[in-house]
Structure 1
Amino acid sequence: MPRSQTQSIQRRASKSSGPLPPSVERRRRLRRERRRDQLIQAWRILVFTGSSTALAWILLSAGWTLRSIDQLQVVGSDRLGPDNVAKAGRLRFPLPLLSLKPSTLERRLMAELPVQSVTVQRRLLPPGLEVELQDRRPIAAATRSGAGGMEQGMVDREGHWMPLTVARQGEAPASAVRVQGWIPSRRSTIAKLLEQRDQLGSPLEVIHVAPDGDLSLRTASLGLVKLGSNGALLDQQLNTVVQLTRSLPAQLRGQSDTSIDLSDPSKPELQLPAKAAKKASES
């Protein structure tokens, strides 16, 4: 082999066994670092998953349990406490929190307690159950027609019916008003009358609802006042009640056998018994 070719081969061999170009070396280093980072990340995921699984198992098997009523917190009510909630909700201790469905307990408490709203939240750490209540306060005693006859109950300030089994867990009605013949379709009207019971110029005694929805009042001064079924006229009718309380002669007020028809509040009509009406017409 010629000497020149031998020298050329030796030079190429010396070049191939020398240091790599910086760009190649940098790519190799980056690949090694990525593999190391991926391995570290995989170990982190494995450790985190194992720790989470172990913690969940510990909590579910031992820690996440209501062991006594002391872990039941009731807020928002000044009348009802943990004992009332536990009894109404039929809670038995120890109670695994996972077995408790907040929505089911909320419906049960709404049906059994004198409350307007219930919110139930499970607490993980420390294990506990928080129940937020908004009280319903009975405003008036009430009756309604039920399957077994006339049913006794109460109504709250929004006109909602409260069975005695629920209402008796709270205080007595806030007023002496009686609601006779409560029906759902008249709830909002009853609520408005109860709200304005002290603004009629005379104490409101009875709110009577006929089966067909016709409404009547009885006040201490005027006696029976017939309002009819047109709820759109209620404000005008109540204003007329106030005016009549002030202006109606004393001898015509509060008679047990007379009534005032305000179905058309622009034309109040005093309804007398047959004998009195005949005598008035003769005179």
Structure 2
Amino acid sequence: MAGIVSISRTILAGRRKKLRKKRQIKFIQAIWRTIAVTSLAGGLLWIAIQPIWVLKTPKDVVISGNQLLSDEEVQSLLMLSYPQSLWRIEPYKIARSLQQQPSIAQATVSRRLFPPGLVVQLQERTPVAIAQVRREQDKSKNGNTKVIMGLIDAHGVWIPLENFTSLNSKVKLPTLKVIGSPEQYRPYWSDFYEAISQTSLKVTEIDWQDPTNLILKTELGLVHLGTPSPQLPEQIKVLAQIRNLPSQLNPNDIEYIDLKNPEHLLVQMNQKNSKPISKQTKKNQRV
């Protein structure tokens, strides 16, 4: 029994010794990790405060994605002074400020370390139509109607005309004109504009003022589409299929084309200019 007790004590003592060594090793490793992390952080801090991390001129700002705005116009929106410490710049705030511009849809700003600089990526709003809104003024101002001009993009987002042209002095304005409140036609605009842009038929004006009758001015003349609905793209497709109408009827005799029902297209003729058809003048002609 005495021999067994002696062996057990020896084993326990060996185990304690091994545990102490493991603790010492872990302690030393922890110290080295702390020293390494501290040294790394200190080194990065030292590098960060060096004068090389400075934007010296506007050339240190790389701008991409801009097609309507020039680099100089974007630079003016950044409102940066030079020289400027790269670490004092807040990319998120600059991006948010750029997105508040009516002609910019998205903006991403990030720091570039090698070489030191700033990277600005833009997604612009491309105007596709000139928008006109008529609003009645106060009675104190004789109740006159005020006409507000602007621009809209393919998604129906309103862009103030004066803000856009002040920055984009060289940009050619679109030829398509839209009359009416953007709030009224925005639910239909994206699909409707896509249909117009893809058709071979030229559309120069869209009148949304009457909520019960959308009117287009086209190369065929005036077209009445009725109450705006999800079937507007289909109506545009039908309209493109009758491009040969001028060869059948004199455009001067056409008052308007009634396309309220795509399956039953009607042509309203001018009584003054109409000519006899089938030995008898008819007010309405079915196509």
- Output the TM-score relative to the length of structure 2: 0.70
CA deviations on 1:15-56 (whole Å, 9 max, x unpaired) are x9xxx9476346325413531440342243045225414532
1:172 maps to amino acid: K
Q: Secondary structure at 2:260's aligned position in 1? A: coil
Partner of 2:142: none
Structure 2, unaligned runs of 5 or more: 1-5, 138-145
Query: Which amino acid in the other structure matches residue 114 of structure 1?
Result: S
Which of 106, 109, 121 is the equivalent residue of 2:110? 121
Match of 2:172 in 1: 172
Normalized per residue, the structure richer in helix is 1
Matched, 1:163 2:152: no
* 1:238-267 alpha-carbon deviations (Å, 9 max, x no partner): 233234432466545355x82223223333
Give the superposition deviation at 1:119: 1.5
Q: Does 1:55 align with 2:54?
A: no
Correspondence for 1:204: 203
Shift of 1:132: 1.2
What corresponds to 1:240 in structure 2?
238
Residues 141-178 of structure 1, C-alpha deviations (whole Å, 9 max, x = no match): 332346983232333333433333225626314x5322
- CA distance in structure 1 between the aligned counterparts of 2:159 and 2:55, rounded to whole angstroms: 31
CA distance in 1, matches of 2:99, 2:252: 41
Closer/same/farther in 2, CA of residues 22 and 200 from structure 1, 3 Å limit: closer
Cα shift at 1:111: 3.3
Give the Cα–Cα distance (whole angstroms) in 2 for the partners of residues 218 and 97 of structure 1.
54
C-alpha distance 73-198 of structure 1, shift in aligned 2 (>3 A): closer
Residue range with higher mean Cα deviation, 83-92 or 48-57: 48-57
CA contact (8 A) 1:139 1:157 kept: yes
* 1:5 paired residue number: none
Q: Does 1:66 align with 2:68?
A: no
Matches of 2:180 and 2:227, distance apart in 1: 14
Tell me the secondary structure at the aligned position of residue 116 of structure 1: strand
Alpha-carbon distance between aligned partners in 2 of 1:126 and 1:210, rounded to the nearest angstrom? 55
Contact persistence 1:88–1:113 (CA under 8 A) = no
Identity value in percent: 26
Say whether the 8 Å CA contact 1:136–1:156 is kept in structure 2.
Answer: yes
Choose the corresponding residue for 2:264, options 255, 263, 267: 267
Contact map agreement 1:114 1:162 (CA 8 A) in 2: yes
Which amino acid in 2 is paired with 1:197?
I
Q: Supply the distance in 2 between the matched residues of 1:46 and 1:281 (Cα, whole angstroms).
A: 98
The one-letter amino acid paired with 1:166 is F
Quick one: structure 1 residues 32 and 199, their matched pair in 2 at CA, closer, same or farther if it must change by over 3 Å?
closer
2:229 is aligned with 1:231? yes
Match of 1:95 among 62, 84, 108: 84
Q: TM-score, normalised by structure 1?
A: 0.71
Where in structure 1 are there 5+ consecutive unaligned residues? 1-15
Question: Where does residue 85 of structure 1 map in the other structure?
Answer: 74
User: Looking at CA atoms only, which structure, 1 or 2, has the larger radius of gyration?
Assistant: 1
Kept in 2, the 8 Å contact 1:200–1:241? The answer is no
Find the aligned partners of 1:133 and 1:147 in 2 and give their Cα distance: 37
Distance 2:109 2:96 in 1: 10
The one-letter code sitting in structure 2 at the alignment partner of 1:84 is: E
Contact 2:151/2:158 (<8 A) preserved: yes
| 1:195 equivalent in structure 2 | 194
